[in-house]
Amino acid sequence: MRLSRYFLPVLKETPGDAQVVSHQLMLRAGMIRQTAAGIYAWLPLGKRVLAKIENIVREEQDRAGAIEVLMPTIQSADLWRQSGRYDAYGPKMLRITDRHDREMLFSPTAEELFTQIFQNGAKSYRDLPRNIYQIQWKFRDEVRPRFGVLRGREFLMKDAYSFDVDYAGACHSYNRMFIAYLRTFARMGIHAIPMRADTGPIGGDLSHEFIVLAPTGESDVFYHENWEKGRDTAHVDADDAGALEAFIDGLNADYAATDEKRDMAAEAACAPSLKQSKGIEVGQVFYFGEKYTKAMGVTVQGPDGAAITPHMGSYGIGVSRLVGAIIEACHDKDGIVWPEAVAPFKVALINLRVDDAACKAAAETLYAELTAKGVEVLYDDRDERGGAKFATADLIGLPWQLVIGPKGVADGVAELKRRGGDRIEVPLAEAAARLV
């Protein structure tokens, strides 16, 4: 993509109403623009990051055996009355009345709708287990939307729902999602710690939040220092229920909890290894048994012909929230430092002298080579000063910068720089290959 043709409305100054780093940098880097309180338009650069995160989430859900669907954002109030949550959910729910005076709502979550869809499609224990998911926009009418996409009212979320014959099967589904989440966040280049958490209005008595440590996080979290190390899940067989449970039990042997689920005795036992920090929730998993299936009269026929009420779990990942969380964890004084897996482009190709024929020819050749090799490249071909181009490249945080200047071209080299790292000279003829 040529920057001269791209829509990238960067800002030189930090907007005064942006309180946290991710909100400031997303506005300055031209990723988002606010259209109403807590509601944002996603501009081209932000949309590319959102798509990268969404694709990783989708691939790991598919790998874990979940099946993708797409549900409507507008739901009938009658469904929520069946579960008892229509009034209980509170003022965060945006309630709507259509022209026929039917009460509707903009989905804040979708347990009821998925339960109804499952009820219509599953009749026997042979139809279980099932895990169904979507990636869809949600709306929660926050009293004080703030911190940009970290606490907005409209947000993109992956929500999955498992259905199992019994408690043991439901626990296995829960554990599969637990591991899928660890893999998902690791692929994005961030370290998310699973912590015992409160279930809130979702219900149930078993839940973990996945927390990214960040000084600007909204949650107080407490954890054993071992969690600061990465956890390898590559060897884990998610189909082996016993091995999976043992692995997760081993992980949870190290204390980690949100403020609501603190255990003073456990904290005392792991002192002086106990750490306290702020964190940002990027995902949460729940087991809530028969809460929704029983309330909505959902049963399947068991092996002996008797009716069985399926056990459920739900599993959410804040896809749009992850964009802000990653920036909170990955930035410096000059701007964003994207992990390569979620970067909008892999490399910024910077032509320092667009009026120099040799520089232009070298840059155009590299742009063509990189594009042909499938490297996502943002080519800064604008008639701007070199300093302005470097500032833009640092601000938007692409992992690599490939710099073409008159002296280098004369010597047959380009400068290759890792974002935030050192520059090295590479032969022009080899530069594209170095980035593949």
Nearest CA among 101, 85, 30 for reference residue 392: 30
The answer to whether the beta carbons of residues 145 and 151 sit under 8 Å apart is yes
Q: What is the pLDDT of residue 348?
A: 98
* Separation between Cα atoms, residue 282 and residue 189, nearest integer Å: 13
Successive 10-residue mean pLDDT values, the chain, 436 residues: 97 91 97 97 98 98 97 95 89 95 95 93 95 97 92 96 96 96 95 85 79 87 90 88 92 90 92 93 94 93 96 97 96 96 98 96 97 97 96 98 97 96 94 94
What Å distances lie between residue 100 and 72, 103, 106, CA to CA? Answer: 19, 9, 17
CA angle 155, 40, 190 (to 5 degrees): 55
The dihedral built from the CA positions of residue 11, 16, 22 and 23, taken in this order, carries a sign that is: negative
Residue written as token pair 């530069």: 431
Q: What is the pLDDT of residue 427?
A: 97
φ, ψ dihedrals at 371, nearest 5°: -65, -45
Which H or E run contains 162? strand 154-164
Fold of 345-434: Rossmann fold (3.40.50)
Residues 6+ apart with CB under 8 A from 7: 30, 43, 44
- H helices of 160-281, in order, are 167-187, 241-251, 264-270
Q: What is the pLDDT of residue 99?
A: 96
What DSSP state is assigned to residue 412?
T
CA angle 55, 333, 45 (to 5 degrees): 30
**pTM given for the model:** 0.94
Q: Across the chain, how many H-helices and E-strands are there?
A: 14, 23
Q: What is the pLDDT of residue 219?
A: 86
* Separation between Cα atoms, residue 52 and residue 345, nearest integer Å: 10
What is the CATH code for 3-336?
A: 3.30.930.10
For the chain, what are the domain ranges?
A: 3-336, 345-434
CA angle 354, 357, 358 (to 5 degrees): 105
Q: What is the pLDDT of residue 68?
A: 98
* Separation between Cα atoms, residue 213 and residue 277, nearest integer Å: 7
Q: What is the pLDDT of residue 294?
A: 93
**Contacts from 79-88 at CB under 8 Å and sequence distance 24+?**
79/112, 79/113, 79/116, 79/296, 80/105, 80/112, 82/112, 82/295, 82/296, 83/111, 83/112, 83/115, 83/291, 83/292, 83/295, 83/296, 84/295, 85/112, 85/201, 88/201
* Separation between Cα atoms, residue 152 and residue 323, nearest integer Å: 12
Residues 6+ apart with CB under 8 A from 123: 300, 301
